[in-house]
Amino acid sequence: MKIFIIGDIVGNKGVEKVTQTLPQYIKTNNIDFVIANGENSADGMGITSKIFKELLTAGVNVVTMGNHTWGKKDIFNIIENKNLLRPANYPKEIVGNGYGLYECNDKVICVINLIGRVDMNVLSENPFIVAKDIIREVKDIANIIIIDFHAEATAEKIAMGYYLDGEVTAIYGTHTHVQTADEKILGNGTAYITDVGMTGPKKSVIGMEVDASIKRFVTTLPEKYKVSEDKEAFLNGCILEINDETCRAEKIRRVNL
């Protein structure tokens, strides 16, 4: 089985890159299942029901979110959709699903969305404890467990990788929008990468307009961020190759289109 992970989709250009590229990419590379982070897809903050539908139509099976989950009010029209996940370690009273179970090739895939607590400024429960709780719930149901850990600190992501090594199929990081070159299979068999990168405008500062970003750093004034309007876009992600018999990850490969 091949699972394609798409890094944070940023703005219209990111959405266009996915909708224009993904259908053919799935066919060419024999992709069985697609997970994409969509928390920045609507003007750089949040998601809309229209964008959600476009991503599913293009071939995305599950859309995960992060610290900008509530960036657009329209999300409340789709928040209970099983193919949309918000961080599972949000307070328990929050609407939506933190993980989902999906059938693919006679297997059950569990996708879990978690958010970090280091420098994220989001009220959340301990992602390490919540992850273990969910794994205990699904271990007798799911053949494959994949975690999108939306976090700022590389140390927090790496620690999560070792913490769950051997208990889940793969853990990948999102949020920082810069693809890391540390993809590996950990000692007990879990595929890991600290950040899969982003999908969006090429000339940008992690998706945002360059001049506005520079002005913020030079002047320290609160210049408003806006998504870069660069017409050229790229897609970052990774492909997981999973053994059909053991359901263990055999390969993890970075993608940069």
| Catalytic positions | 68
Cβ contact 177:205 at 8 Å = no
What the block records as the tokens of 170 is 């793969």
- Sequence-distant (6+) residues with CB within 8 A of 130 are 88, 89, 98, 114
Find out whether 82 and 97 touch, Cβ atoms under 8 Å.
Answer: yes
Task: Give the count of beta carbons closer than 10 Å to the beta carbon of residue 144.
Answer: 23
Report residue 150 as tokens.
């939306």
Q: Alpha-carbon Rg of the chain, whole angstroms?
A: 17
Can you read off the two tokens belonging to residue 146?
């994949």
With CA atoms as reference, report the closest residue to 118 among 172, 170, 187, 67.
Answer: 67
Amino acid at 126: N
Distance CA 97, CA 103 (A): 17
CA distance 111 to 133: 14
Listed residue (171, 199, 197, 168) closest to 184, CA to CA = 171
E strand or H helix at 2: strand 2-6
Strands 191-193 and 170-174, sheet pairing: parallel
